[in-house]
Structure formats: C-alpha cells, structure tokens
Amino acid sequence: MTSHIAKSRRLRLHRVCCRFRHDRRGIVGIMFVVVFSLLIGTFVLALGRRSLAEHQRDARRQTIRLLESAIKSAEQIEVPVEQEIRLPVDQTSDEWIEVRLLDESDERRRYRATHRRGDRIGMSITRSESRSVGGE
C-alpha cells in the first residue's frame, strides 16, 4: 500500500510539473505573439506615414505647377499693376487662382498667384519674369 501511495504522490507531482511546463510554454508563446504584433504594428505605422508624406509632396508639387501655369496665363494677358485676375479651377467646389501683377519695371515683372477655395487662402507663390530688351 505504501508503494501505491508513493506512486500516487509521484503521479500528482508529475502532473503539477507538466502543467507548469505547459503554462510556461503558453506564456512564452503569448509573449512572442505580443512582441511580433508590436513589430508588425510599428512597421505598418512607418509605412503609412511615408505614404502620407509622399501624397502631400505630390499634392504640393501639383499646386505649384498649377500656380505657375496661372502666372504664365496672366503674362500673356498682360494684367495691369495691382489688378487681379481670377482663374477658375473647379466651380463646383468654389476653387480658383488669383493672379496679381505686383510691380513692373523696364527689366522685369513680378507676379503673385494664390490658390483659394471658398474663403480659405491656400498656397501662394511669387515669380519674376524677365523682359527681353529690344526684341519684342
């Protein structure tokens, strides 16, 4: 009977030890999953930030090209000094570009183009145009 009791105790002790080993493996597995998830999340956030920055740069470049194009149009129209022209971009969203000749001399003209949407003022650029002397 003593051997039976001893065997029973050993069996219980073995079950407790095995359960503890399984619990440790489970904890290590959960920690691995958490660390891996944090790593993937950080990567996704960095990728998203980079994509957003690239989109903003492209939008800024496109707006600058649009403003420069508006200034070229105003040069062809020959706008008087301090008078503005309004070039529509999208009438449904009340978006336009305002171009103004800031000053004019014999050698050059300075224009300012401002992007507007409704009451909001957007990006603005100033460009100088050199006049050719004697060739016009």
Residue-level pLDDT at 20:
54
Residue-level pLDDT at 16:
57
Virtual torsion, Cα 10, 12, 15, 16, nearest 10 deg = -110
CA distances from 24 to 13, 21, 27, 31, 37 (A): 17, 5, 5, 11, 20
How many Cα atoms are found within 13 Å in the side-chain-facing hemisphere of 35? 6
pLDDT digits (tens, 9 = 90+) for 49-106: 999 999 999 999 999 999 999 998 888 887 777 788 888 888 888 899 999 888 877 7
More confidently predicted of 116 and 83: 116
pTM of the full predicted structure? 0.63
Residue-level pLDDT at 21:
57
pLDDT digits (tens, 9 = 90+) for 31-45: 999 999 999 999 999
Q: Average pLDDT in the 9-15 region?
A: 64
User: Cα 121 from chain centroid?
Assistant: 20
Place 136 in a pLDDT band, splitting at 50, 70 and 90: very low
Residue-level pLDDT at 134:
47
Residue-level pLDDT at 13:
60
Q: Is the pLDDT of residue 18 over 80?
A: no
Strand-pair partners of 114: 98, 124
